[in-house]
């Protein structure tokens, strides 16, 4: 099944449900509520205002569901969870509609407001969930009948891995894992799995295998207590949009780290990566774009002044462009106001040091106040960066960092930022060792990422700008 087609189906069903509930609600208002106000029958007329609402209201519902994150994972839905999510989103949406559109309705008494509210809520919830139930049940049926599945790689080749494979392959209600092969944890390991699945290589082959077979899911069949081995595997998988599952050991079960919603399947648990829920991620993106557009407009006079100042101060371009590594390890071009002399790196990549003679007089001021970063609002609008996130680095330095701290690649799960927790707590790094000292702060941010943390980082960054303590 095509994911885009499934999203369109869900979106279309939601639009039709919202439109149908709005039509029925309109008829209810005209036939039962307004006559109580006027003491006579009210003719049922479908005016231009009605048709305008019929277009706008369902569109707003669909946008609301998108922001909620409903369309982010259309193949891994639970009908029971969907029931609760649909009711909660319907309740919130109807409350908003009630206060925006219905408080000025013609009513006979205050009780009519309760009738209006609950009628719209019931209509919208029942129609929306009914359509969703049909679509979700169709997908689940295809998964359970093994007509549809997700390309899955099994990592590990011992008896435990074999047990997991056999349990998942013989389930009465399959979870959708379509095994394409397994990777052994050692180069010469003989595995009982070879009688059932092709051996695709070892852990060193993870990047090649994930791309070649278009993997969607990975099951790591080793104990989570094997920390060094597990860390290496997760590091190799970080730059890929995969769902990663693990098997809990006794510590996980007793500490409560292992949580699962599956009843019929083996006790696999989704390995947490600390990423925001879909609604927070969408809201974070909305804030990023809105704030960046506003900042570009407000900073326009500053752009002009800084541009003239740079041109008068030294020879070279106004903007400095450089390739950095972004989300999922993809390179992008970052923009900054030029703070160094032109052609400042004749012998290859070189970090800026304290009292660096390459920094121009204007550049010193721009660096202290962080004004050299403001062109990066354009990177934020393009979706290459965020307002808050780990600072993007060049591949040249990333290669050096990874040799000492392979887990650095975990930061590529999210968009890099104009400012970061590491930058606020530690400041700019002028050597690779300083980058390594800053790394723990960014990893802490990754595990605790939230809008609340973002706002705190932004506040401290603004304070730092006014203090002029950049370097």
pLDDT digits (tens, 9 = 90+) for 316-345: 899 999 999 999 889 999 999 999 998 888
- How many Cα atoms are found within 13 Å in the side-chain-facing hemisphere of 382? 15
Distance CA 41, CA 43 (A): 6
Residue 105: pLDDT over 70: no
The 3-state DSSP class for residue 199 equals strand
Rounded to whole angstroms, the Cα distance separating 20 from 49 reads 16
CATH of domain 150-270: 3.40.50.720
Residue 250 has pLDDT above 80, yes or no: no
Round to whole Å and give the CA distance between 112 and 38. Answer: 13
CB of 186 within 8 A of CB of 205?
no
Domain residues of the chain, as ranges? 3-145, 150-270, 278-467
Q: Which of 438, 259, 456, 294 is nearest to 374 (CA)?
A: 294
State how far the Cα of 417 lies from the Cα of 419, in Å rounded to an integer: 5
Give first-to-last CA distance, the chain, whole Å. Answer: 52
> CB burial class (10 A; 0-12, 13-18, 19+) of residue 452?
exposed
Instruction: With beta carbons less than 8 A apart as the criterion, state whether 202 and 183 touch.
Output: yes
Number of Cβ within a 10 Å radius of residue 341: 15
Both structure tokens of 301: 């006079």
Tokens linked to 352: 């800026």
Which of 147-151, 236-240, 297-301 tops mean pLDDT?
Answer: 297-301
Q: What are phi and psi of 132, to 5 degrees?
A: -65, -40
Residue 234 · residue 271 · CB < 8 Å: yes
Residue 423 neighbours by CB under 8 Å, 6+ apart: 391, 438, 461
Q: Give the integer Cα–Cα distance in Å for 15 and 222.
A: 45
Where residue 426 falls among pLDDT bands split at 50, 70, 90?
Answer: confident
Distance CA 394, CA 397 (A): 6
- Encoded tokens for 432: 């690779």
Q: What is the pLDDT of residue 264?
A: 44
pLDDT for residue 232 is more than 70: yes
Average pLDDT over residues 52-61: 93
Sign of dihedral through CA atoms 34, 36, 38, 42? positive
Beta strands in 271-330 (DSSP E): 319-325
Give 468's pLDDT tier (boundaries 50, 70, 90): low
pTM of the model: 0.69
Closest CA relative to residue 389, chosen from 321, 324, 303: 324
pLDDT value of residue 254: 42
| Percent of the chain predicted with pLDDT > 90 | 37
- pLDDT per position as a tens digit, 347-402: 788 888 778 889 999 999 998 888 999 999 999 999 999 999 999 999 999 999 98
Give Cβ neighbours of residue 348 (< 8 Å, ≥ 6 apart): 396
pLDDT at 267 over 70: no
Residue 242, CA distances (Å) to 102, 117, 151 in order? 44, 42, 10
Spell out the residues 6+ positions from residue 380 whose beta carbon is closer than 8 angstroms to its own: 288, 289, 292, 386, 387, 418
Length of the chain: 471
Q: What is the pLDDT of residue 391?
A: 92
451: buried, middle or exposed (CB in 10 Å: 19+, 13-18, 0-12)? middle
Helix (H, G, I), strand (E, B) or coil at 468: coil
What are the beta bridge partners of residue 182? 154, 199
Q: Yes or no: say if 59 and 83 are a contact pair by the CB < 8 Å rule.
A: no
Model pLDDT, residue 15: 97
Higher pLDDT, 163 or 271: 163
156: left (phi over 0), alpha (psi -120 to 50) or beta: left
């Amino acid at each position: 099944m095509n994911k885009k087609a499934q999203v369109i189906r869900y979106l279309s069903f939601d639009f039709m449900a919202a439109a149908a509930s709005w039509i029925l609600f309109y008829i209810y208002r005209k036939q039962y509520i307004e006559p109580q106000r006027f003491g006579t029958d009210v003719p049922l007329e479908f005016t231009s205002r009605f048709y305008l609402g019929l277009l706008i209201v369902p569109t707003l519902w669909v946008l609301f569901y998108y922001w909620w994150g409903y369309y982010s994972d259309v193949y891994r839905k639970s009908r029971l969870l969907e029931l609760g999510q649909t009711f909660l989103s319907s309740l919130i949406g109807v409350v908003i509609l009630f206060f925006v559109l219905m408080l000025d309705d013609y009513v006979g008494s205050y009780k009519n407001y309760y009738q209006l509210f609950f009628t719209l809520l019931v209509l919208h919830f029942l129609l929306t969930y009914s359509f969703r139930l049909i679509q979700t049940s169709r997908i689940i049926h295809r998964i359970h009948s093994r007509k549809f599945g997700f390309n899955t790689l099994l990592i590990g080749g011992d008896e435990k891995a074999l047990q997991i494979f056999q349990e998942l392959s013989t389930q009465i209600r399959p979870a959708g894992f379509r095994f394409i092969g397994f990777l052994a944890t050692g180069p010469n390991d003989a595995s009982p799995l070879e009688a059932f699945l092709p051996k695709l290589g070892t852990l060193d082959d993870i990047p090649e295998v994930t791309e070649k077979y278009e993997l969607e899911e990975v099951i790591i069949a080793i104990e989570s207590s094997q920390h060094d081995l597990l860390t290496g595997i997760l590091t190799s998988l970080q730059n890929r949009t995969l769902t990663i599952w693990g098997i809990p050991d006794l510590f996980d079960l007793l500490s409560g780290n292992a949580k699962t919603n599956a009843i019929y399947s083996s006790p696999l648990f989704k390995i947490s990566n600390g990423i925001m829920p879909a609604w927070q991620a969408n809201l974070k993106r909305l804030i990023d774009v809105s704030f960046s557009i506003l900042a570009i407009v407000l900073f326009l006079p500053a752009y002009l002044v800084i541009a003239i100042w740079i041109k008068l101060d030294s020879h070279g371009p106004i903007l400095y462009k450089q390739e950095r590594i972004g989300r999922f390890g993809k390179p992008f071009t970052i923009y900054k106001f030029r703070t160094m002399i032109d052609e400042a790196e004749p012998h290859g990549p070189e970090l800026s040091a304290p009292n660096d003679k390459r920094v121009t007089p204007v550049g010193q001021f721009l660096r202290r106040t962080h004004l050299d970063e403001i062109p990066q609002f354009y990177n934020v609008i393009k979706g290459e960066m965020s307002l808050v996130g780990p600072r993007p680095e060049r591949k040249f330095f990333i290669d050096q960092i990874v040799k000492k701290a392979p887990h650095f690649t975990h930061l590529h799960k999210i968009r890099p930022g104009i400012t970061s927790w590491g930058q606020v707590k530690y400041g700019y790094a002028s050597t690779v060792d300083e980058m390594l000292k800053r790394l723990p702060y960014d990893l802490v941010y990754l595990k605790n990422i939230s809008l609340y943390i973002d706002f705190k980082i932004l506040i401290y960054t603004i304070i730092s700008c006014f203090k002029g303590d950049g370097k």
